[in-house]
Amino acid sequence: MNPIFERYRDIIPDFSLFQESLHNPFPTHLRVNRIKTEPVLVVESLKAKGIHLKGVTEKNNTLYFASSLNTCGNLLEYFLGHIHPQALTSCLASIALGPEPGSYVLDMCASPGGKTAHLAELMHNKGFIVANELNSQRQIPLGHTLERLGVMNAVITGYQAQEFPMKHRFDYILADVPCSGEGRFRQTKEDLTYRETAAKTKLPDLQKKIILRGFDLLKESGEMLYSTCTYNPEENESVVSYLLDNRDAKLLPIQVGLDYDPGLIQWGNQNYEKQLESTARFYPHRIDSVGFFMARIGRGK
């Protein structure tokens, strides 16, 4: 049996199926960009090229699985900004936040821009998005993505997320934080293995600082989505629990049109509040995509 992520055996349901799923390559998922086109037109144009798309959720008809496509970077539809290759679970983060057109939005860790552009699409390219990215080199692909997809309501800033200025409050905040990236690992070659590094042990401290700053930047009726692409409870439930202990925050239900497993209320010798079950865990054997965690957060009443 594959020993990878063995320490999660007691928290991941159907663990043997989970480990089997790690040997499968990632599927190709596409998001149709409604800023520039409509899904039916893209489905037909790609079908004419022998590329068949299959919808993955009734809640949002812009998300598709492309069974006969490994890469889309050479397609005209890609260059026109009609489609964007993006992990399905990554798309679900923007859907879970669900910003309204005309709202004021902050994406705290925005590069490479897929989620930012998705937020703009959901907002009908109206309102205002601050796409924040500290790394100047990562700002380049972020800008290219936003331009290709026709995003007109966003500006790029370069602050440390945990030190983002407190000058303005936001209606919606996406905190898709730096993480250990366990959910992105697939063992498609025998000699390929997931490696822990010392730097990853420092991530929870950074994540806790970011989630606190994000919450403090919310308007009174604002909402924040905290997300990672990792399985580690120290980066997920423990970080959200830290917020609940230090701010008047509450967890809100998550609705994305696909099933997910509830968040944990216990990990090792740590016990979390029962409301942590309102967070969402996505596993590759349940939904064939990147492993993901998300928590939708509002202010307490």
Q: What is the pLDDT of residue 220?
A: 95
Q: What is the pLDDT of residue 301?
A: 64
Q: What is the pLDDT of residue 58?
A: 78
Cis link prior to 112 (omega < 30° from 0)?
A: yes
Mean pLDDT, contiguous 10-residue spans, the chain (301 residues)? 80 95 94 97 94 88 88 91 96 97 98 97 98 96 98 98 97 97 85 72 96 98 97 98 97 95 96 97 97 96 64
Q: What is the pLDDT of residue 1?
A: 44
SS3 of residue 39 by DSSP: helix
CATH fold of 88-299 reads Rossmann fold (3.40.50)
C-alpha angle with apex 230: 225 to 231, nearest 5 degrees?
Answer: 105
Active site residues: 229
SS3 of residue 117 by DSSP: helix
Write down the domain spans for the chain. Answer: 88-299
Cα-based distances in Å from 266 to 1, 208, 237, 262, 294: 26, 18, 9, 12, 17
pTM: 0.96
